Structure 1
Amino acid sequence: MGQQFHTWRSGDGEKLWLSLLIDTMEQVARPEIREMPCESSILMALRAQLARPVSHCTHVASRFSLRN
């Protein structure tokens, strides 16, 4: 699966990345998965990641936009 993320910027890679994201979100939304406990270290790392400022890449354009 790691190999798939290396190609997300080329060709249909964005579609692949978005598809994998949607699949993951659907899996974790299942009740039996949501009921599972999560380690506090994972939650702390996630909170730290979400607290970081968004990095803007000016040289990479995405076909996905709210204006489409």
Structure 2
Amino acid sequence: MGQQLQRWRSAGGERSWLSMLIDTMDDVSRPELRNQPCDRLVVAAVRAQLSRPAPSCAQRGS
């Protein structure tokens, strides 16, 4: 997955990133996955990541 995320920086990468996001959302919306419990450490890590401020344009370019 790390390699896939690096591709979004190349030409046409935004479309690739968006496609990957849509595929992931489709996967996690399946009932058999939605009914599985999520590890509390994973939930905590995601909450911590989402609570961080978004980087400014200047920070993303570096």
TM-score (norm 2): 0.84
Higher helix share: 2
Per the alignment, residue 15 of structure 2 pairs with 15
Structure 1 ranges of 4+ moved more than 3 A? none
1:44 is aligned to: 44
Q: Please report how far the alpha carbon of residue 33 of structure 1 lies from its aligned counterpart in structure 2 after TM superposition.
A: 0.4
Count residues with an aligned counterpart: 60
Report the CA distance between 1:10 and its aligned residue.
Answer: 1.8
Q: Which runs of 5+ in 1 are unaligned?
A: 61-68
Report the RMSD for the aligned CA atoms in angstroms. Answer: 1.5
5+ residue gaps in structure 2? none
Question: What's the CA shift for 1:4?
Answer: 2.1
TM norm structure 1: 0.77
